[in-house]
Amino acid sequence: MNTVIEVRELGKNYGTVTAVDGISFSIPKGVCFGLLGPNGAGKTTTIEMIEGITKSTSGEILYLGEKIGAKFKQEAGIQFQHTSLQEFLTVKETLQLFHQLYEHTMPLEEVIEACSLQEFLDRDNRMLSGGQRQRLLLAIALINDPKIIFLDEPTTGLDPQARRNFWRLIEGIKAKDKTIILTTHYMEEASILCDELIIMDKGKIIAEGKPDELLKAHFSDVLLQLPQSDIKRDELLETLTTTQENGYITIHTDNVHNTIQQLNDYGVNLAHMEIRTRNLEDLFLELTGSELRS
């Protein structure tokens, strides 16, 4: 079966507040599937209902074609956003503790290698850096050799280097044909890791598909950004599609060569110009008019 998770008309109400509003989607085998959206969009509630932590108000969730039950619990691995570990244990002792909780497990040596834990196995788990702790929590999620892995904002609070190191670990896990469900606020992270994704807002799915296909479906332009002070002729701006913010002018164009030639003909200083393609944050703003991290 190619579909690992199927969500049908899933809903969750808290009194009169609708957190998740009748959403449906499916997750194929062997992909990294992203759930994106601002705080309060309903993505964490959706994940918790799939994991079995939160009971749904309506709808159903299927794992390999069957309602989620004991099989799912044995074959799923979860890295929560916040996890408390038993104190006064080393990294190795922590792994051994969790290793004893499952019937089917991955050899500890493989888990340690997959998460690059070799250098601090004898360190107290309270003495780890942010990146090291996240690698340990990922290892715990892999202990039972899961077929499906949930990662709830796993790189929040990490510095850029630690975040990129963590991405490499996830890429290695993807290569082993495991299915990953990722929630994240970082659009670069989603672009790099996710094969498919949904964007949620106010409990609903507002976009769904492969990242590149979503961007192509919604945008045909490229953005050129320059300091406002570098464009001194108003008649030039009248011939271009532009937006202005924080002292910069952004030019929207579907012909970069001709636009640059036009700027050059008008004597615009191009030394500070930046060119970029559209990204997932642009898509979110286009669909909702809100900042992704609001």
Confirm or reject CATH 3.40.50.12280 for domain 3-216, answering yes or no.
no
Phi, psi of 153 (to 5 degrees): 45, 60
Domain covering 220-277 assigned CATH 2.60.98.20 in the classification: no
SS3 of 99, please?
Answer: helix
Question: Taking a C-beta distance cutoff of 8 angstroms, is the pair 158, 131 a contact?
Answer: yes
3-state secondary structure of 213: helix
Question: For residue 103, what pLDDT is reported?
Answer: 85
pLDDT digits (tens, 9 = 90+) for 173-218: 989 989 999 998 888 899 999 999 999 999 999 999 999 999 999 9
pLDDT tens, position by position, for the chain (294 residues)?
Answer: 599 999 999 999 999 999 999 999 999 999 999 999 888 889 999 999 999 999 999 999 999 999 999 899 899 999 987 788 999 999 999 999 999 988 889 999 999 999 999 999 999 999 999 999 999 999 999 999 999 999 988 998 888 998 999 999 999 998 998 999 999 888 889 999 999 999 999 999 999 999 999 999 999 999 999 999 998 878 888 899 999 988 999 999 999 999 999 999 999 999 999 999 999 989 988 887 665 444
Residue intervals in the chain for CATH 3.30.70.980: 220-277
Alpha carbon separation from 249 to 231, 254, 272 (Å, rounded) = 8, 16, 12
